[in-house]
Chains A and B, each alone.
Chain A
């Protein structure tokens, strides 16, 4: 990934997370705080207008299902994120901006698939080449 492309993605993350999601406001998520969790993909809901990556996270012997929201399939596809990238059982570390009300959900910023350390940045789907 080139330095310039990383810069573009960083900018897009700022724009999209700062102004909210294209279908609804992002005001239900924390503006600054992030949460990083490691878990196992339970389901990838690859849907419009938003997709949800459901991740089972075990803490102190208890499993909680977290939902990470991103844009819909066409934008994820532009970011190189396919439905098949996150089959159930895939182990990942994922970072997002958590809900302000404390529910186990977040706006998906970045995920790393642990089997190959590949990074997935949903907001890269808004990049255009010029």
Chain B
């Protein structure tokens, strides 16, 4: 399934995007006054400066030029003349322990989100699902499959706020998220995806990529249907992504992500992810194995109303 030709829709929405970006910039400008740091402001959110608003609008439009993530990725690869293979002497330094900051609305997929709803444009079916989720949440009804330690899957993997580290080698980049022991492997040795007839949904999909200078460009398919985050909407198992990763400062890895998912999204969803290198002067940070079954007090089940509830606590038994 592909997106329809986007030109007329893009033309109609351009004005709306610009207005929305200006309003967002105004809101962030007001909230970013240095003397007003407090609960209403999140210094970790991407600063919605006028420059970023304009750049983001271009990045959104860039994604809409392509009918699929694969078409976008293939064009990026063509423009990079296939990319450049790293060697052991020119590997970028992505060492250290990183974490994803929260946005103004917590664990939002798009850190620029400021209202109750994510910045995605969903299809009517998926929008209705999202509205129900948001309304249920207002009534205290919410359940997350992660409660049973199921995989967060990809692209939700991008939002996990816990520890992460990265291993860059010429033929493969390995991205480790501590939470749920989620390890992505991005093959950069020139291999293709698995042939279409042999594909099946995977918790973290199948990722191939190439290097274009200091940018790691990734295409991911074979994903599983899941949610971006709580009250962030769902994706289908047709979801595919293009990511452009780059170290933009000594302590910041940035990933520009375009999500294509025709059953769920009316148009590709762009969001910039950031991962910040944590101070670790005393060398105490560790990316640990997670075991969800070690403490029975963490057992959370879904209620008949669709909410969440703990089972019996061990500490109640005195």
Chain A interfacial positions (CB closer than 8 Å to B):
3-4, 7-8, 10-16, 18-20, 22-25, 27-28, 31, 42-43, 45, 47-50, 52, 54, 63-67, 69, 72-75, 77-78, 99-101, 103-105, 126-130
**B43→A8 contact, CB < 8 A:** yes
**B251→A25 contact, CB < 8 A:** no
CB of B57 to closest CB in A, whole Å: 24
B101 at interface, CB cutoff 8 A: yes
Contact residues in A for B142 (Cβ distance below 8 Å)? 20, 25, 27
Cβ-defined partner of B147 (8 Å) among A24, A43, A127: A24
Q: Choose, from B34-42, B168-176, B203-211, the stretch at the interface.
A: B34-42
Contact residues in A for B106 (Cβ distance below 8 Å)? 15-16, 18-19
User: In this complex, what residue of B is CB-closest to A71?
Assistant: B162
**B315→A52 contact, CB < 8 A:** yes
B149 at interface, CB cutoff 8 A: yes
Contact residues in A for B147 (Cβ distance below 8 Å)? 23-25
Main secondary structure of the interface of B (DSSP, over half): loop
Contact residues in A for B38 (Cβ distance below 8 Å)? 7, 10-11
Contact residues in B for A130 (Cβ distance below 8 Å)? 44, 101, 251-252, 276
Cβ-defined partner of B295 (8 Å) among A11, A24, A45: A45
**A126→B308 contact, CB < 8 A:** no
CB of B150 to closest CB in A, whole Å: 11
A27-B141 in contact given A15-B106, A45-B297, A49-B292 (Cβ < 8 Å): yes
**B291→A48 contact, CB < 8 A:** yes
A2 to B107, CA, bound (A): 25
Cβ-defined partner of A24 (8 Å) among B137, B144, B278: B144
A68 to B277, CA, bound (A): 29
A73 to B290, CA, bound (A): 10
Q: Choose, from B12-20, B61-69, B213-221, B280-288, the stretch at the interface.
A: B280-288
User: In this complex, what residue of A is CB-closest to B103?
Assistant: A15
CB of B149 to closest CB in A, whole Å: 7
Contact residues in A for B308 (Cβ distance below 8 Å)? 24-25, 27-28
CB of A107 to closest CB in B, whole Å: 11
**B179→A63 contact, CB < 8 A:** no
The 19 listed contacts between A and B (C-beta, < 8 Å) are: A11-B43, A15-B42, A22-B161, A24-B300, A25-B143, A27-B141, A28-B307, A28-B308, A42-B315, A47-B294, A48-B288, A48-B290, A48-B292, A49-B292, A50-B295, A63-B318, A65-B316, A74-B162, A128-B44
CB of A59 to closest CB in B, whole Å: 14
Contact residues in A for B231 (Cβ distance below 8 Å)? 19
A18 to B116, CA, bound (A): 12
User: In this complex, what residue of A is CB-closest to B310?
Assistant: A28
**B37→A49 contact, CB < 8 A:** no
Contact residues in A for B149 (Cβ distance below 8 Å)? 23, 49
CB of B290 to closest CB in A, whole Å: 5
A22 to B316, CA, bound (A): 24
User: In this complex, what residue of B is CB-closest to A56?
Assistant: B318
Task: Give 10 nearest A-B pairs by CB, closest first.
Answer: A7-B37, A19-B106, A24-B147, A128-B276, A25-B142, A15-B106, A47-B295, A25-B308, A24-B300, A27-B142
A74-B105 in contact given A27-B142, A103-B313 (Cβ < 8 Å): no
Contact residues in B for A14 (Cβ distance below 8 Å)? 39
Contact residues in B for A69 (Cβ distance below 8 Å)? 297
B178 at interface, CB cutoff 8 A: yes
**A105→B162 contact, CB < 8 A:** no
A67-B146 in contact given A14-B39, A19-B106, A50-B295 (Cβ < 8 Å): no
